[in-house]
Chains A and B, each alone.
Chain A
Amino acid sequence: MTEKPKLGVYICHCGINIASTVDVEAVTEFAKGLPNVIVARNYAYMCSDPGQLLIKNDIKEEGVNRVVVASCSPRMHEPTFRKALQEAGLNPFFLEMANIREHCSWVHGDREEATAKARRLVAAAVAKVRQLEPLEEREVDAEPAALVIGGGIAGIQAALDIADAGFKVYLVEKTPSVGGRMAQLDKTFPTLDCSACILTPKMVDTASHPNIQLMTYSEVEEVSGYIGNFDVKVRKKARYVDFDKCTGCGECAAACRMANRIPNEFDAGMGKRSAIYLPFPQAVPAKYTIDPENCLYLTRGKCGKGPKCAEVCRAGAINFEQQDEIVEFKVGAIVVATGFDVFEARKKPEYGYADYPNVITGLEMERLVSASGPTGGQIKIKVEDEEIVPKEIAFIQCVGSRDKSVGNEYCSRVCCMYTAKQAHLVKDKIPDANVRVYYMDVRAFGKGFEEFYDRVRREGIHYIRGNPSEIFKRGSKLVIKVEDTLTATPMEDEVDLVVLAVGLEPRQDVRKIIDLLRLSQSPDLFFLEAHPKLRPVDTATDGVFLAGCCQGPKDIPDTVAQAKGAASSAMIPLARGKVKIGAQVATVNENTCRGCGFCVEICPYSAIELVAVNRFGHPVQVARVNEALCKGCGSCSAGCLSDSIQPKSFRDRQILPQIAALGVMR
């Protein structure tokens, strides 16, 4: 652009956020004296309609062709002002923001000094805006399909919503059945409706929906590409059972030589299964799977005279020759719903989870009270080889939550209520049981939660405020050592059964997903959302959305709500059919690039590749940026030894005058 730069500088009061600390009038006067500035104004709220109108009018009437807005962080309002420039007919990238709020007024008290700093920041922005170049945003087509990773309630709900809207959905689940954690639960708080009863219809829908391709016992191997155009590779693990032939009759499992010998993951290890198994009766798809780690034939190559399962299977579905299969497809958006693991109670050795069989976790309790559980819903425990119905039962809350000693500072948000629910269920099934709950605080914040908590207490559940220090054995009883902190009474409590309300943690194999999708983690190690308040289902990777407990602990209603949110966000690019590509991307000077590939390795978005070009007859490699993937983060630029790759709008020749104007450089 050869026309002479005519700058407009607009200084925002931000109510009193800026104006109370920075003398905006003085800064305005100062700005008027800067080179090429033809107009400088200040206004109470620059982002308001009248504020934007000031800018637009100056562009149209005064011929302003470069704009500096001195206000807040560009994170929020850069898009606002870009739009204003565009509406006034100016290239939206002829804008530079000086952050005189977060970087100045909010962090300084002295009016004189804050004003001096604001002047410098404005001068720096003025120096830079003169060097900016016009940029164009482009659009590319988006594939009208989505990938949902994880088949728990979050993944199921997201998949169903997207599929109902008419888009193709690939639902990938690691285990042999969809259902996830919710399928393991007995009743749900606070309404006490049966978890399986409300979940099963949705599970069946995922399998029968014409738009959903359900891939259970599968894992995502590779994701490349970018929003609108992700290339996905999924490994369908060998089930050793012909999916189409298996009728789900279950005779194989009954015949298996390993029957009732392998801890059932679905029952949290409480029950036993065979090496060929259906995780639970309502499993979807109702197809059997051979566990290759425990099947005698697969581990030892020999199973009696021949595998029993194959012998009894009338459909001839058993196939030990089956191999993993790689499926490749393309999607426009990805919903991550990988869920959670429960806290490993062994990390709190003082509670004796590893030592005493009658210390169990909340998840085990769910299976114990569930009608489909290992005991058929009867609460029975084994104490010294004798099966008894426990009468003295204690729940301990906050096991692995709100506990710095195990590294989990956060509240898991569901334990208070699931404890209350389980206490209620125990009282319901064993009316003469004495049930108490040891708690630090009770957090009953959801709809109907406080009412439920009240109801449970009225049912005769004792809530004792105290964090037990130790559990040990005395005779056939367990003794809980604890101080009732409301009365400051140290006490020992003899019980038959202790239920640890274990908290929620990120999945053990969370790293795999992080590497796959380039996600970030918050300090609690759950996946990090793009903005805690305004973009709670988005991630830093465009086109990848979060649903459910992989983003942080939450209960079922919150999970479903977030899944629906993630689904609708994911549908935006799918419905538009196009995605915008950022304009502030890295560019390569192919004349000086020496093709070392540092940037290729450094790029967190895999946006750079080496391509062969002809340099005066010599074939050489140079870096090339995929503009659709590039986020303009500048990591490549920092790593480039020959200074050959720089992000547009942040080139050396644009930044150096800015730094010089700050007075840092000569």
Chain B
Amino acid sequence: MDLEKLRKTAAEIVSRDDVKYLIGWRPGSFGYRVSPCFVQDAAGAEELIFSPLCASNLATYLTLVEKLPVPRGEEPDRRKVALLVKGCDSRAVVQLLVEKGIEREQVILVGLPCRGVVDLNLLQQKYPEGLEKGELSWQEGGFQLIRNGETATIPREEILAEKCRLCRYPNPVLSDVTIGDPVEPWETEADRGVEELEQKSVEERWDYWEEQFSKCIRCYSCRNACPLCYCDDCILDRLNPIWINRAVNFSENTAFHLARAFHLGGRCAECGECERACPMNIPLGKLNRKLAKEVREKYGYEAGVDPEAKPFLASYNPNDPEEFIL
């Protein structure tokens, strides 16, 4: 990864008058942690990194920013926001564009071809996280870990995140500048997680999800981490009518998770942030990927690949196969 070029490009971008800031990653304060950072000036760009630890999807911040009331006589800040995007992150941005969540002129996308990020839990199982910082980088066939002055090589399969195993878009689908050479997409395995579930009986599936949903503590981290859950006024927060009761039990949890998954039907960019954010390790990605699979197979539609596409649930094609309609 050409960090120098990334930092130089970022510095150039944030120095422009029409750019508010650039959102990227920088090393966290301990262990393997990586924090998002808002680079305001050229000096700040020196902190930027891009490594297999940069799993978080920064597109979330595009819609998270609070629009404070503009004092009378003043103009709202219309400066652009620059953003570092991996393949999956760029899909989220594209989906936001499709849904008019953001305007194309508002963002500058710095594309980063990505060879796959790691699942922090898997990494920690093998190399427990300490206070001292650890650095991870890509190398042929896997990852190189530098920690306590020691270097270790970890095979790719051991710690690669699940979403990256299934990734079909390692290169950004939309970007203004790209740092580094495009990555050759790798052989993706069939989505075993979803297929295994599909083959189970209804009772077995029910039991499986009962176990999973029962774990949920309704912290809504999955919703907050999702770049595509960005309604100012989420129906989960509404008091009149109360669509989903606040009680934390299997029934209400199930209602919540199904509502969340269905609100992402035909929209999910498969960045895996919901699952990564979940403190209870609920396999939310499986739900999302199941819906994405249905949409892909039944309608030939894939979310977040074409900024000119119409939103899936708002488009109608008279030639849809509609095999499921009797």
Do A and B pair up? The answer is: yes
Instruction: Let me know if B235 and A643 touch, CB within 8 A.
Output: yes
C-alpha spacing A600/B314, complex, angstroms: 8
Question: If A596-B99, A652-B241 touch, does A617 touch B314 (CB 8 Å cutoff)?
Answer: no
* Any A CB within 8 A of the CB of B325: no
Q: Which residue of A lies closest to B242 (CB)?
A: A656
B283 to chain A, nearest CB (A): 23
Interfacial chain B residues near A653, Cβ < 8 Å? 240-241
B318 at the A interface (CB under 8 A): yes
> Is the C-beta of B301 less than 8 angstroms from some C-beta in chain A?
no
Q: Which of B72, B235, B315 contacts A642 (CB 8 A)?
A: B235
Question: Given the interface contacts A596-B99, A642-B235, A643-B235, does A616 sit within 8 Å of B70 by beta carbon?
Answer: yes
- What B residues does A595 contact at CB under 8 A? 100
For A594, give its contact among B69, B101, B310, B311 (CB under 8 Å).
B101
Chain A contacts for B263, CB-based, 8 A: 641
**Which chain A residues lie closer than 8 Å to B314 at the CB level?**
597-602, 639
Interface size band for B: 20 to 34
CB distance from A587 to the nearest CB of B (A): 16
A618 part of interface (Cβ distance < 8 Å): yes
Asked whether any CB of chain B lies closer than 8 Å to the CB of A314, the reply is: no
The reply on A301 being an interface residue by CB < 8 A is no
Chain B, 270-297, CB within 8 A of any chain A CB: none
B69 touches A616 (CB 8 A): yes
A138 at the interface (CB under 8 A from B): no
Measured between C-beta atoms, what is the minimum distance from B273 to chain A in Å?
18
Q: Does the CB pair B240–A618 fall under 8 Å?
A: no
Which residues of chain A are near B241, meaning CB under 8 Å?
652-653, 656
The smallest C-beta distance from B256 to any residue of chain A, in angstroms, reads: 15
Cα distance, A653 to B68, chains bound together (Å): 30
User: Is the C-beta of B233 less than 8 angstroms from some C-beta in chain A?
Assistant: yes
Q: With contacts A639-B314, A643-B235 known, is A617 near B70, CB below 8 A?
A: yes
> Does A485 sit at the interface, judged by CB under 8 A?
no
A511 located at the interface, meaning its Cβ lies under 8 Å from any Cβ of chain B in the complex: yes
Query: In the assembled complex, which residues on chain A have CB atoms less than 8 Å from the CB atom of B318?
Result: 511
Query: Are the CB atoms of A601 and B310 closer together than 8 Å?
Result: yes
A592 at the interface (CB under 8 A from B): yes
Q: Is the CB of A592 within 8 A of B100?
A: no
Residues of B near A621 (CB, < 8 A) are 100
How far is it, in angstroms, between the C-alpha of A594 and the C-alpha of B263 when the chains are bound? 15
Is B71 located at the chain interface by the 8 A CB criterion?
A: yes
**Given the complex, which residues of A lie within 8 Å of B326, measured CB to CB?**
none
Whether B67 pairs with A616 at a CB distance below 8 angstroms is yes
Q: Which residue of A lies closest to B77 (CB)?
A: A618
Binary CB contact string for chain A from 21 to 62 against chain B (1 if under 8 A, 0 otherwise): 000000000000000000000000000000000000000000
- Within 8 Å CB of A618, what residues of B? 67, 70, 76
Please measure, in the bound complex, the distance between the C-alpha atom of A616 and the C-alpha atom of B66, giving whole angstroms.
12
A382 within 8 A of B: no
Identify which of A511, A598, A642 contacts B233 (C-beta below 8 A): A642
Asked whether any CB of chain B lies closer than 8 Å to the CB of A304, the reply is no
Task: Verify A598–B311 contact, CB threshold 8 A.
Answer: yes
Interface status of B250 (Cβ within 8 A of chain A): no
Residue-by-residue, is A574-606 near B (CB-CB < 8 Å gives 1, otherwise 0)? 000000000000000001101111111110000
B235 touches A601 (CB 8 A): no
Q: Is A615 an interface residue (CB 8 A)?
A: yes
State whether A594 touches B232 (Cβ < 8 A). Answer: yes
Interface residues in B296-326 (C-beta closer than 8 Å to A): 310-311, 313-315, 318
Q: Are B76 and A617 in contact (CB under 8 A)?
A: yes
Residues of A within 8 A of B232 (CB): 592, 594, 642
Q: B315's contact among A591, A601, A641, A644, by CB below 8 Å, is which?
A: A601
Q: Is A281 an interface residue (CB 8 A)?
A: no
Residues of A within 8 A of B140 (CB): none
CA separation between A644 and B231, bound complex, in Å? 10
26 pairs of residues in contact across A and B, judged by CB atoms under 8 Å = A594-B101, A594-B230, A594-B232, A596-B99, A596-B101, A597-B314, A598-B313, A599-B314, A600-B314, A601-B310, A602-B314, A615-B67, A616-B70, A617-B70, A617-B71, A617-B74, A618-B67, A618-B70, A639-B314, A641-B231, A642-B232, A642-B234, A643-B235, A643-B238, A644-B233, A656-B241
- Having A596-B101, A618-B67, A639-B313, one finds 19 other A-B pairs with CB under 8 Å, namely A591-B233, A592-B233, A594-B231, A596-B99, A597-B311, A597-B314, A600-B314, A601-B314, A617-B72, A617-B74, A618-B70, A641-B263, A642-B233, A642-B235, A643-B238, A652-B241, A653-B240, A653-B241, A656-B241
Interface residues, chain A, CB within 8 Å of chain B?
511, 591-592, 594-602, 610, 615-619, 621, 639, 641-644, 652-653, 656
**Chain B interfacial positions (CB closer than 8 Å to A):** 67-72, 74, 76, 99-101, 230-235, 238, 240-241, 263, 310-311, 313-315, 318
By Cβ-Cβ distance, the 10 closest A-B pairs, closest first, are A617-B70, A601-B314, A616-B69, A642-B231, A598-B314, A592-B233, A596-B99, A618-B76, A618-B67, A656-B241
